[in-house]
Amino acid sequence: MAMSSRSRRSQVTNYWPGFVDALSSLLLVIIFLLSLFMLSQFFLGQEISGKDTAMSRLNAQIAELTELLQLEKVNSSDLESTIATLSATLTSTTNERDQMAAQIAGIGADGDGKDAQIADLQSDLASQQDLSREATAQVALLNQQLAALRTQIGALEEALQASESKDTESRTQIADLGRRLNLALAQRVQDLSRYRSDFFGKLRQVLEGRADVRVVGDRFVFQSEVLFDAGKASISAAGLTEMAKLASAIKELQTQIPADVNWVLRIDGHTDKRPINTPEFPSNWELSAARAIAVTKYFVEQGIPAQHLVAAGFGDSRPIDTGDTEEAYARNRRIEFKLTDG
């Protein structure tokens, strides 16, 4: 009876580790998306800052052109007033000349022999004619200056309109740039998520049935004993067999990823918290880094481009089991593989 009870208890499935892994995966996906959003906002802010500088320059040019236009309009108004004054003076002088001519004609008709008076009037008439010619010349000159000024005002108005149009176009380009940047980033996130899913699927096929390889969140976790002997950083013969399968799957996957999608396979080395102090490895940092580098070098030898590989050593700083049992130590001694953005 007791044996039957123990048998039933041993058959109860523990769902808690799977639930924790699922929550960890969801949390990491959320953090990854938030990171991408922050990155997109940073690049968008940089681009908008550059456009704002250009718009500031355009606004300064518009203000300068507006000020010049106002000054030219004031000068035009002054010239028009001067022309009006000279025109009035010319009209008055012409009238006086006509009156003098009439007086001379009347005196000549009377025949009284007033030659002296006629001579004076003719002298005054000549003076008035000189003034009339001078005023006419000044009016003609001022009309030329007014025409040139109006041409300049027209050019300034065209330049002002062009600057305002360019300012509007720049604002439209900024809005369109932000929209296209967000769409591009969203597309990259979607592409990388799809290829990460393909990566997980291929590795599951390659590693199917292995109890010493687990999926934790968005990472594949190899126990160190699968690849390395105790205290060593050289991949064992059995480990080379497993790495060959993994390298083949990665090479097949990389042919499917477009060249414009930035991706890296991060290889993280971890140890348990028991210290190591040997001539080759003074601490767990050196051991974990050396193991990650050994796997990375093997992948490069198998034809995986080095720019898509990253090796990192974490020592015992990131345990997945905080216990002090041999089982906990074994879980913490591991090599993790994670496909992420470059």
Count of other CB atoms within 10 angstroms of residue 137: 11
Sequence-separated (6 or more) residues with CB below 8 Å from residue 221: 213, 214, 215, 320, 334, 335, 336
Secondary structure of 80-144 as H, E, C letters = HHHHHHHHHHHHHHHHHHHHHHHHHHHHHHHCCCCHHHHHHHHHHHHHHHHHHHHHHHHHHHHHH
Fold of the domain spanning 207-341: 60s Ribosomal Protein L30; Chain: A; (3.30.1330)
pTM: 0.45
298 or 174, higher pLDDT: 298
pLDDT digits (tens, 9 = 90+) for 60-88: 777 777 777 777 677 777 777 777 777 77
Locus of tokens 């001379």: 104
Would you say residue 294 has pLDDT above 60? yes
Residues 107-147: pLDDT tens digits? Answer: 555 545 556 666 666 676 677 667 667 767 777 777 777 77
Parts of the chain belonging to CATH 1.10.287: 49-187
Find the range with the poorest average confidence among 28-32, 244-248, 296-300.
28-32
Q: What is the dihedral of CA 185, 188, 194, 195, to 10 degrees?
A: -150
Determine what percent of the chain is predicted with pLDDT higher than 70. Answer: 72
**Which ranges in the chain are annotated with CATH 3.30.1330.60?**
207-341
For 49-187, which CATH class? mainly alpha
Q: Please tell me the distance from the alpha carbon of residue 246 to that of residue 238, in angstroms, as a whole number.
A: 13
